Chain A
Amino acid sequence: MDPTIFLVMSAAKQQMDLQQVHADNMANINVVGFKASRTSTQPLYIKGDKVSEKAYAEVSSHSPSMKDGVLNYTGRSLDIALRGNSWVAVSTPNGEVGFAHSASLTRNIGGYLTTEMGYPLSNFDGEAVSIPPQNEIMLTETGEIFERDPNLGLSLYSEIPVYQLDYDKVRRGERGLITIDDAAGVVRLEASGVRIITGALEKANVNSPGVLADMMLTEQNYNANMNSFKTYKEISSLETQTLLR
């Protein structure tokens, strides 16, 4: 059996997956703190003699790009953004802890802060960062939460822990959060090394013209595969015609 047709179809299938990654990056361009997915393609060799050796293509998309996105100053005191390798932890309803680079926080009446998805801001062990139940709060650059009591003035209430991640071990988790399977890849930063920007949100780090270009390239490659398919069809029908004559 001639494997050409399967090679071509395997490649076309990979181009389709690749196109979905591009589409997802584009669709998430307005998500706060979104990190774009990266892709790579590897050949999968099927061993044979020199002439019949084949390589199928296999697309991978796993660890997102960790570049910083542009800051958008909103002026809202509970909007936070971080820079570089520093992340805040968020606990998801299934008990996992994910990391976010920017969040629009709201006060929950339970006495903690939640992200726009409703997930509480927590530490790496999944314990929510507590906030004063009623009084006004103030966040500082180093992640301290101050309580402003109308009679007693400002007092330190709690701290938002900030973590540094080992980028070789991260992967995309639930709902756009970043997760890490190996706890050794998470280091809590000292307060002196923390910088939380308040009143700003980080835009998605999707490079939109780049994604458009990738998309067009993917389309062309796909069309080229379709042309190979057509040529193969023509050749095989010629063969049949010639042999049956």
Chain B
Amino acid sequence: MNGALYVGKTGMDAISQQMNEIANNISNSQTTGFKASRVSFATLMTQNVRDASTVDGGTPTGLQLGTGVKVSGTQKDFSVGSPVSTERELDVMVNGDGFIPITKSNGEIFYTRSGNFTLDENGMIVTQNNFAVGSGFIVPEDATSVKIDASGDVGVLLAGENEFQNIGQIELVRFINPEGLRSMGDNMYQPTESSGDAMFGIAGEFGFGEFMQGYVEGSNVNMGEQLVQMIETQNSYEMVSKVISKTGEMMSNATQQIG
């Protein structure tokens, strides 16, 4: 069977995965704290059909046939998205490096960049999917206002009082290789061997970003870039399908003429 057909097919597979990723980025262009990802491609093995020869009369260049392409992985872009002002007390954004640790009810810890929090029925500060922020901060029932300052200190103003009372501090987490984090959906991540262990720290110190209350982090998808990539992807797809159709024509021609 003809190799060119299969080489073309690997190209089609890889390019449609890229299209999938672009579609996902564009669909999430309004998702709070969303991080764009991109597909990286890698050349498949090279088949050494005939080595170059140094013998007199031999061909000085051999024949090496490539076998196509594959998707080697997807890469998250962890650059900070633009701040969107909401003026809501429980919206926070980390302006710079750092993930917010969140705890599921079974004790499992995840890390997120989206800080659009709410209160649950017990007054605990939770994410949009009911995971406790940090190790759990309880806002008393009679609190009239919540303040989260730049270093992550959470203060509450109780009714009838005029000074904020500190109920804890939200820590931040950093990874050596954030691109190695496993995406768990809902803007949550978990560490892997490749990302390294979580390194805890305080906002504003040692290169960590600061908290900004009243803001959420917009998606960092660059629409212009995605659209350009989409055009490019479509062109590549068309050209690779041309490879397949041309090779197909060659094969059918052979069958007609020889058969």
Contact = CB atoms under 8 A, between A and B. Distances in A.
To the question of whether A and B form a pair in one complex, the answer is: yes
Interface of A: 12, 15-17, 19-32, 34, 37, 40, 42, 58-63, 75-76, 104, 106-109, 116-117, 133-136, 148, 150, 171-176, 208, 211-212, 215-216, 219, 222-223, 226-227, 229-230, 233
A223 B195 CA distance: 54
Contact of B176 (A15, A21, A134, A222): A134
B254 A12 contact: yes
A17 B65 contact: yes
Given A32-B40, A60-B63, A23 B73 contact: no
B250 interface: yes
A62 B62 contact: yes
A24 B44 CA distance: 9
B239 A26 contact: yes
Given A30-B14, A219-B246, A222-B250, A24 B75 contact: no
Given A26-B240, A108-B177, A16 B250 contact: yes
Contacts of A117: 42, 72
Given A16-B3, A30-B15, A211-B239, 4 more contacts: A15-B250, A20-B65, A62-B62, A62-B64
A99 B32 CA distance: 40
Interface residues of B, number: 64
Contacts of A226: 253-254, 256-258
Contacts of A104: 40, 75
Contacts of B180: 106
Nearest to A136: B207
Given A61-B63, A63-B61, A212 B176 contact: no
B258 A229 contact: yes
Given A116-B40, A116-B72, A219-B246, A23 B7 contact: yes
Interface centre among A27, A60, A134, A208 (most CB of B within 10 A): A27
A23 B14 CA distance: 14
Interface stretch (B45-53, B120-128, B165-173): B45-53
Interface in B4-43: 4-5, 7-8, 10-11, 14-15, 18, 40-43
Given A62-B64, A116-B72, A223-B253, A16 B18 contact: no
A150 to B, nearest CB: 4
B67 interface: yes
A93 to B, nearest CB: 13
A27 B240 contact: yes
A27 B7 contact: yes
A168 B254 CA distance: 38
B9 to A, nearest CB: 9
Contacts of A21: 65-66
B226 to A, nearest CB: 13
Given A20-B65, A27-B240, A134-B199, A60 B59 contact: yes
Contact of A24 (B7, B52, B177, B254): B7
B42 A19 contact: no
A226 B253 CA distance: 7
A21 B242 CA distance: 14
A176 B246 contact: no
Contact of B66 (A24, A29, A150): A24
30 contacts: A17-B65, A20-B4, A20-B66, A23-B247, A24-B68, A26-B240, A27-B66, A27-B69, A28-B66, A29-B236, A30-B15, A30-B236, A37-B66, A62-B62, A63-B61, A104-B40, A106-B75, A106-B180, A116-B40, A150-B205, A150-B206, A171-B52, A175-B44, A212-B239, A219-B249, A219-B250, A226-B256, A229-B258, A230-B258, A233-B258
